[in-house]
């Protein structure tokens, strides 16, 4: 009977720990959603296309706080001046944030570039 009681107690403590972790991630999601909207606007302003927001990962306990993925239909190759302009605008925006936000932009050709 002691073994069953210890197992139940262990499961209860584990469930509380997981709930706390999930709750912290839930609280972190709201700012990440706001950051994704700001970034989508900057991307649209610089390349003339509203990106599709893919994944939004939030982690209230670790850095980065947010990991965001955006997809564009058009190609932005490494020599494209709009790609450079977009990168500079994203870096400027991220510099004003206290949270560590990382993002990946995937262009139409499948080429991706990561910021952060």
Number of domains in the chain: 1
> Domain containing 87 — which CATH number?
3.30.460
User: What pLDDT does residue 2 have?
Assistant: 52
pLDDT tens track for 13-28: 444 444 444 544 545 6
Categorize the per-residue pLDDT at 90 as very low, low, confident or very high, splitting at 50, 70 and 90. very high
The reported pLDDT for the residue numbered 28 is: 60
Going by pLDDT thresholds of 50, 70 and 90, the confidence category of residue 70 is very high
Domain span at residue 53 reads 2-115
| Torsional sign, CA 14, 17, 21, 23 | positive
Return the minimum-mean-pLDDT range out of 38-42, 51-55, 77-81, 86-90: 77-81
First-last CA distance in the chain: 53
């Amino acid at each position: 009977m002691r073994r069953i009681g210890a197992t139940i107690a262990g499961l209860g403590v584990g469930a509380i720990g997981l709930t706390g972790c999930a709750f912290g991630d839930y609280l972190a999601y709201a700012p990440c959603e706001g950051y994704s909207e700001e970034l989508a606007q900057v991307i649209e302003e610089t390349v003339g296309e509203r990106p599709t927001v893919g994944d939004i990962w939030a982690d209230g306990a670790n850095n980065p706080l947010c990991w965001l993925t955006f997809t564009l239909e058009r190609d932005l190759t490494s020599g494209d001046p709009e790609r450079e302009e977009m990168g500079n605008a994203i870096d400027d925006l991220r510099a004003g944030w206290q949270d560590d936000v990382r993002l990946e932009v995937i262009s139409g050709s499948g080429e991706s570039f990561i910021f952060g």
